[in-house]
Chain A
Amino acid sequence: MVDFEVVDLPETDHVAAGETAPDFTRPLVNEEFWEDRSLSELTDEEPVLLIAYPMDGAFQATYVWNEVRDRGWADEAQVVGLSISSPYEHKTFLAEREVDARLFSDPAADVIVEYGVENDLDGMTGIVDARPAVFLIDGDREVQYAWVAETQPDFPDYDAVADALDEL
């Protein structure tokens, strides 16, 4: 991609495949409104593809969600995002990306840190962002697949995610 080494992100002790995904409650935003929802409420209904991503507006957010939309994953699992952006920003982002998904809002990054996918941004003092990360979580809240960005930037192995979805 580029003729120099990209920057590595610090190693992280993130939630991994085989572990139980930590439960949490945050405002979950859809195209029309937002309300507090817990992860366990969602996994009780259907497996969840949880995608952490840099704040709405960053190019990685745009690229990741365009890919998710184009692959039609919403037909195979509940696709939910997780970023530090506010519910108002999430609502605009969903409309702009035209993606069939819902987005958790975690402005203080507590959930993002608990999952081990945080990124202390250089040059934006005080902002802890999420790095791109993908967790496929089944009905028992067990993580079936996990991927977390290791470089800045980094993108999911979308085919590997698709394979994991097929194996559900």
Chain B
Amino acid sequence: MADSDITLYRLQACPYCERVVRTLDALGLDYHSRFIEPMHSERNVVKRVSGKRSVPAIVDERTGVTMSESANIVEYLEATYGEGGA
């Protein structure tokens, strides 16, 4: 857990976040979960790392990628770590 490259910023029970978690699990990827508060005004850490206050957001230190929007993240993870990926 401590050595995983991927950090996921998530909100408890957010369906878009759970979608990303499902993809991470399906690909067998370890990741850090960082939970934030629902209120947008309380999301400075996400804004700082991703430029936006939306979750989910991931930071992948292995590739240097930071990304928001669950559809984009799922596509990125499958392309990078799925069969035929890097």
Contacts and interface: CB of A to CB of B under 8 A. Distances in A.
Interface of A: 27, 32-36, 38, 41, 87-88, 91
B32 interface: yes
A36 B1 contact: yes
B37 A88 contact: yes
Contact of B33 (A32, A36, A38): A36
Interface in B22-61: 32-37, 42, 44-45
Contact of B35 (A33, A38, A41): A33
B59 to A, nearest CB: 12
23 contacts: A27-B35, A32-B36, A32-B44, A32-B45, A33-B9, A33-B34, A33-B35, A33-B36, A33-B45, A34-B34, A34-B35, A35-B32, A35-B33, A35-B34, A35-B35, A36-B1, A36-B33, A38-B2, A41-B2, A87-B35, A88-B37, A91-B37, A91-B42
8 nearest A-B pairs in the assembled complex, by CB-CB distance: A32-B45, A33-B34, A35-B34, A33-B36, A34-B35, A33-B45, A35-B32, A41-B2
